Amino acid sequence: MAETQSDAGHELHPMAEGDSHTVVVDLERQASAFRAESEAGNSQRNEISRTKTPMHLTFNDVCTYVPAELQVPGIVNTVKKLAKACAKGDAGKVPERQILHSITGVVNPGEVVAIMGPSGSGKTTFISLLAGRNHLRTTGEILYNDQHKPTDKAFKRQLGYVSQEDVLFEGLTVFETLYYTAVLRLPRAMTNEDKRERVSIILEVLGIAHVKDSIVGGIRVGRRGISGGEKKRVAIGQELLYNPSVILLDEPTSGLDSTTALNLIHTLHTLAQVGNRTIVTTIHQPSSRIYQMLDKLLLMGQGHLLFYGDASAATDYFATIGYTMPYGMNPADYFLDVASGWSGEAKDCGKLAVGDPQLKVLLGAIAAKPFERFKLAALESQSILKEVDLQTSRVGEEEEAEPEGASYLTQIGVICVRSMKDRRFESFSADSLGVAFFVAILCGILYWQQGRGENIATLVGASNVAALLFFLSMFLSVNLMFSSIFTFPTEKTMLLKEREAKVYPVSAFFFGRTLAGIPIDLAIPFSVTTIIYLMAGLKPTVGAYLLTLITLVISCFTAGSLGLLIGAAVLELKRAQSVSICIMLTLMLPSGFFIQNIPVWLSWISYLSYITYTFDALKFIQLKGRVPECPPGNDACSLLSSSQFDTLGPQIGILLLMLVVFRAGVYVSLRWAAKSK
Ligand SMILES: Nc1ncnc2c1ncn2[C@@H]1O[C@H](COP(=O)(O)OP(=O)(O)OP(=O)(O)O)[C@@H](O)[C@H]1O
């Protein structure tokens, strides 16, 4: 039996290259191989071909509303709006626009339903509602197997959702992307080998095995990776891995050439049929060959349901209400024309607006001769529900006992390793290393041996060393802080996507990302400090070197945490950058280097600045007892050697405390961001 399986796998061809039949035939062969293996007791492979619980989807009278006015963000605008609403006496009431109007229907297991409609007709809104990923005000009911709402936390894990935008890690290879998803989402009882094998099967099924070692690529990593169509298939593969009963896809074929799009729909069709999955996909402009492959069509126009039923019956239906398709036309093109307000005469060609007479005419014709969706839906619902009931009762126990996913420690480990691999092109890129080494060597040359005993014994030499210590702490910490503010805004979409699918808790993401940052964030401070230390001839004892290094590393981690906190709290890059510049300058100016006589009412800021404590600690380590006696009354000189504390402990302790507080703030901000979406 294993031979049959491997044969099926090896003979598959990449979709983009092979013809469409190959994939279907191969999938069918593979599916029969899976079934055969299942009979032989190999349940794992069987999971790929058939779902555990077939899902019957019903949506009834779904209406969705959005605010009718522009919602300008910001506290001032919110207060203004509230004041206006209170003055009018309608506080809390926001004028709304209806974007979905009474969408009703039924989708059975094993079917592929295509949602079609012109741009802005509500396809994305509707499919994201089916996936429980839309939080707009919605009335009506969406139920799976008559009991699960798509927003139910426990049930969400069973819904595969591929959004319109590709949310992938640009720095990972295709195999890594699918493998880490497999480790996070597949049952912990499965061995690593089985998970790898599952990934290999998915790669073959989706025709992307030939690019498994190519990176995803993108603007962030500055590298061209796999093609748009391949990215889309990687995203689909991530969902297929855990064998969901329902797969919802938002425009999976956009950007694909017609053959690749046809192959993708073939694949979905086969997955639905051999796996008894419920598949709903929005689709923009399907070719006539794709259209023929669809089981059901849900046509939308301006948020209204214009047709729902067998795709093959749509042409006849529209003919009966006076919209006869011209001979030889692609039905999909014709229905889009109709939904866009074209009634067959060239002069009427144009887009519909709500209340458009054309839409009213069409809706009137539909109301006069409905496509019997309600009757049909009710009948189908009853017969299919019986079948689903039977199958569900057989697998009912399995559904109750959803297998446990990765353990908490595995989640942290995977998030950590995945994040390190994703950042491998950035953190250790020639650019960032080049800047760090350039600055270190420039500093070393400019301050060449300034820290030696004879130089530091002069007032000028001691001042130079103090300036070098301040610069060193500023350069390293600001460097890290500014790179840290990008972390969460750029990973926000991935965090939200994986949180929506309940893959891991926020704390696992927080600890995983924190761990991933440690080696990368240590490397630059360590090498820069060592180069400058040797070239500038700072205090030549191992103890002083280690203390300087420890102080700078803690200071960098504190600054990095502040950067993460700003990024996590703001989650918007431009704003995060502006906020961090303000905070950094506020902390730097009163830190004891630029100005000594700070106005009393502002002096408290210096106590909040991690730079004050870092600079103090470095002066204590390098200058205490080594600088010349200050002439009486020379304040500038005495500042060289003075510290706020006579020992090192309090400075280091306060820095560590700040580090913990900032990290806790990061965690709270992430939780809040994940919740508020
Ligand atoms: N959060 C929102 N706030 C305001 N308007 C919204 C929101 N979401 C959707 N809309 C509006 O609802 C309508 C339908 O949008 P939707 O994105 O669902 O259309 P679509 O059919 O998927 O379009 P496309 O094919 O161009 O992606 C549009 O007019 C859009 O502006």
Q: Is 635 exposed, middle or buried (0-12, 13-18, 19+ CB in 10 A)?
A: exposed
Contact 61, 140 (CB under 8 A): yes
The three state secondary structure string of 75-129 is: HHHHHHHHHHHHHHCCCCCCCEEEEEEEEEEEECCCCEEEEECCCCCCHHHHHHH
Q: 3-class DSSP state for residue 443?
A: helix
Measured between alpha carbons, how far is 242 from 244 in angstroms, rounded to an integer? 6
Q: Give the start-to-end residue ranges of the domains of the chain.
A: 2-49, 57-68+98-392, 408-676
Cβ–ligand 1 contact at 120 (below 6 Å): yes
Residue type, 672: W
| pLDDT mean over 416-443 | 83
In the predicted structure, residue 394 carries a pLDDT above the cut 50: no
In the predicted structure, residue 214 carries a pLDDT above the cut 90: yes
| pLDDT mean over 128-141 | 90
Cβ–ligand 1 contact at 121 (below 6 Å): yes
The count of residues in the chain is 677
Ligand 1 atom showing the smallest separation from residue 164 Cα: 27
In the predicted structure, residue 14 carries a pLDDT above the cut 60: no
Quickly count: other Cβ atoms within 10 Å of residue 467's Cβ.
Answer: 14
- Can you spell out the DSSP letters for 491-530? HHHHHHHHHHTT-S-HHHHHHHHHHHHHHHHHHHHHHHHH
Contact 125, 283 (CB under 8 A): no
Q: Which of 310, 318, 317, 236 is nearest to 277 (CA)?
A: 236
What pLDDT, in 10s, does the model give residues 332-346? 888 888 888 765 554
CA of 180 to the centre of ligand 1 (A): 32
Q: What is the pLDDT of residue 90?
A: 58
In the predicted structure, residue 31 carries a pLDDT above the cut 60: no
**Which of 69, 97, 99 to mutate for ligand 1's pocket (most ligand atoms within 8 Å of CB)?**
99
Q: Which of 577, 591, 589, 588 is nearest to 484 (CA)?
A: 577
Q: 3-class DSSP state for residue 256?
A: coil
Query: Could you tell me the CA-to-CA distances from 260 to 23, 130, 227, 332 in Å, in that order?
Result: 11, 26, 12, 18
Query: Could you tell me the CA-to-CA distances from 539 to 360, 447, 451, 452, 644 in Å, in that order?
Result: 85, 14, 7, 7, 21
**Which of 98, 125, 133 to mutate for ligand 1's pocket (most ligand atoms within 8 Å of CB)?**
125
Contact 277, 238 (CB under 8 A): no
Q: Which of 419, 447, 600 is nearest to 537 (CA)?
A: 447
Q: What is the pLDDT of residue 189?
A: 86
Cβ–ligand 1 contact at 117 (below 6 Å): yes
Owner of token pair 């669809």:
294
Q: Give the strand order in the sheet containing 278-282.
A: 137-144, 57-67, 96-107, 304-310, 296-301, 112-116, 278-282, 246-249, 159-162
Tokens of 597: 């006589």
Contact 263, 15 (CB under 8 A): yes
Q: 293-302, 370-379, 491-500, 599-608: lowest mean pLDDT where? A: 370-379
Q: 3-class DSSP state for residue 279?
A: strand
- Can you spell out the DSSP letters for 320-342? HTT-PPPTT--HHHHHHHHHTT-
18 confidence band (pLDDT: 50, 70, 90): very low
Q: 359-373, 528-542, 601-615: lowest mean pLDDT where? A: 359-373
Cβ–ligand 1 contact at 123 (below 6 Å): yes
Q: What is the pLDDT of residue 532?
A: 94
In the predicted structure, residue 641 carries a pLDDT above the cut 70: no
In the predicted structure, residue 28 carries a pLDDT above the cut 70: no
At what angle are helices 192-205 and 228-240 packed, to 10 degrees?
140
Measured between alpha carbons, how far is 628 from 421 in angstroms, rounded to an integer? 50
Cβ–ligand 1 contact at 99 (below 6 Å): yes
In the predicted structure, residue 657 carries a pLDDT above the cut 70: yes
- DSSP structural state of residue 539: -
Q: What is the pLDDT of residue 453?
A: 76
Q: 219-223, 468-472, 624-628: lowest mean pLDDT where? A: 624-628
| pLDDT mean over 436-461 | 87
CA of 125 to the centre of ligand 1 (A): 6
What residues are paired with 65 via a beta bridge? 98, 137
74 confidence band (pLDDT: 50, 70, 90): low
Q: 31-35, 190-194, 341-345, 523-527: lowest mean pLDDT where? A: 31-35
- Can you spell out the DSSP letters for 616-663? HHHHHHHHTTTSPPPPTT-HHHHHHH--SSSSSHHHHHHHHHHHHHHH
pTM: 0.73
Quickly count: other Cβ atoms within 10 Å of residue 6's Cβ.
Answer: 11
- DSSP structural state of residue 350: S
The alpha carbon dihedral of 38, 40, 44, 48 has a sign of negative
Quickly count: other Cβ atoms within 10 Å of residue 355's Cβ.
Answer: 8
Cβ–ligand 1 contact at 124 (below 6 Å): yes
- DSSP structural state of residue 403: P
In this prediction the ipTM stands at 0.96
| pLDDT mean over 456-466 | 83
- Which are the contacts of 63, defined by CB distance < 8 A and separation ≥ 6? 98, 100, 101, 102, 103, 138, 139, 140
What residues are paired with 96 via a beta bridge? 67
Query: Could you tell me the CA-to-CA distances from 5 to 195, 199, 202, 413, 573 in Å, in that order?
Result: 16, 15, 13, 32, 48
Q: What is the pLDDT of residue 429?
A: 64
In the predicted structure, residue 326 carries a pLDDT above the cut 50: yes
The CATH code of domain 57-68+98-392 reads: 3.40.50.300
CA of 511 to the centre of ligand 1 (A): 36
In the predicted structure, residue 159 carries a pLDDT above the cut 80: yes
Q: What angle do CA 106, 107, 113 make, to 5 degrees?
A: 120
Average pLDDT score, the chain? 79
440 confidence band (pLDDT: 50, 70, 90): very high
Owner of token pair 């798509």:
150
Owner of token pair 């398709």:
325
Q: What is the pLDDT of residue 403?
A: 62
In the chain, pLDDT over 70 holds for what percent of residues?
78
- Strands 57-67 and 96-107, bridge-based pairing: antiparallel
| pLDDT mean over 285-306 | 89
**Residue of higher predicted confidence among 652 and 35:** 652
The three state secondary structure string of 284-306 is: CCCCHHHHHHCCEEEEEECCEEE
Measured between alpha carbons, how far is 256 from 370 in angstroms, rounded to an integer? 35
Cβ–ligand 1 contact at 71 (below 6 Å): no
Query: Could you tell me the CA-to-CA distances from 182 to 177, 252, 267 in Å, in that order?
Result: 9, 21, 20
44 confidence band (pLDDT: 50, 70, 90): very low
CA of 68 to the centre of ligand 1 (A): 13
Ligand 1 atom showing the smallest separation from residue 303 Cα: 14
- Which are the contacts of 18, defined by CB distance < 8 A and separation ≥ 6? 207, 263
What residues are paired with 64 via a beta bridge? 100, 138
